[in-house]
Amino acid sequence: MPLPLITACTTRKNLLEGNNIFLPPYVESEVAKRFLDHLLDLIVTKSPSKTMAQSHLENLQVCNAAEALGMRMYARHIADHYKKMAKNNEMPYDLVDIISKTNTGIGRLLVEEIAEAMGAASFEGRMSDPAQLTAYLATNSRLQDTIAEMHIKLQVLADAKNAEHEAYLAREARRQSKEAEALLSPAEREEAKILAREKAGHWRKTQAGLKAKERGKLSWRLWYDRSVRRVVGNGRLRRRACWIDILGLRCQLRKTVQDSICLVK
């Protein structure tokens, strides 16, 4: 392929050094040559060729070569084909493995597409075999981490949507309440206000009773702790011994009262 034509097609600056093209280590010269032949054929025939290799690995290698040469647009049909497969959740796991091991621009792009499709499907419960997906993700940490991040984003969006819906329901309930109140007669409106005040008073009374009950429990607990400290002394005995002492005091007091009753009789 003529060098001026390569310079005209590339978006990379200083791609050529003299008459040589220096490729990154992950791009093989044979793959780059095959891509340039495809590009020359496209220019000569003036018709976009949509041909693809039978091997997924070869197609990804062509995309890598196009990216390295600054000619990604001429291999866009390959990237679009795999992006469509990812969005439709039609990629077999062996192809996902190949893409996950491709740490280039096309690899990162397709991993994000796959994670978005699989993450949404698994989050919404649309996966045909969730157990198989879980077993596969245990072997692919890169995709597993990306899907986990996608789940977090989807959960945040779902929580925000639920909160917005609940706020809408609350606003709608207030609006309907105001409309219903506007249709009431003055006497009915006053009766509704009295009923609302009675409900509020009953709620406050209930809350006060619960607080008093809690205070009573706390007071009994303080009394019990003080009794424990008084009977046990320096903490040498256990709480069970304390209860035995308290029960003994009660029995002694009961016996004293009974003796006093007998004396009175």
Q: How confident is the model at residue 218 (pLDDT cuts 50, 70, 90)?
A: low
How far CA 227 is from CA of 83, 233, 237, 249, 252, in Å, comes to 75, 10, 13, 12, 17
Is the separation of the CB atoms in 11 and 24 below 8 Å? no
Q: How confident is the model at residue 91 (pLDDT cuts 50, 70, 90)?
A: confident
Per-residue pLDDT tens for 109-167? 888 888 888 888 888 888 888 888 888 888 988 888 888 888 999 899 999 999 999 99
Give per-residue burial for 131-147: e unless 16+ CB within 10 Å, then b. Answer: eebeebbeebeebeebb
Calpha distance 52→58 (Å, rounded): 9
Burial classification of residue 87, based on how many CB atoms lie within 10 Å of its CB (0-12 exposed, 13-18 middle, 19 or more buried): middle
SS3 20: strand
- Least confident segment among 50-64, 88-102, 103-117, 160-174: 50-64
Per-residue pLDDT tens for 249-260? 555 656 655 555
* pTM for the predicted model, two decimal places: 0.54
Calpha distance 87→57 (Å, rounded): 20
Is the separation of the CB atoms in 117 and 127 below 8 Å? no
Report percent pLDDT > 90 for the chain: 5
Query: In sequence order, which residues have a C-beta less than 8 Å from that of residue 20 and are 6 or more positions away?
Result: none
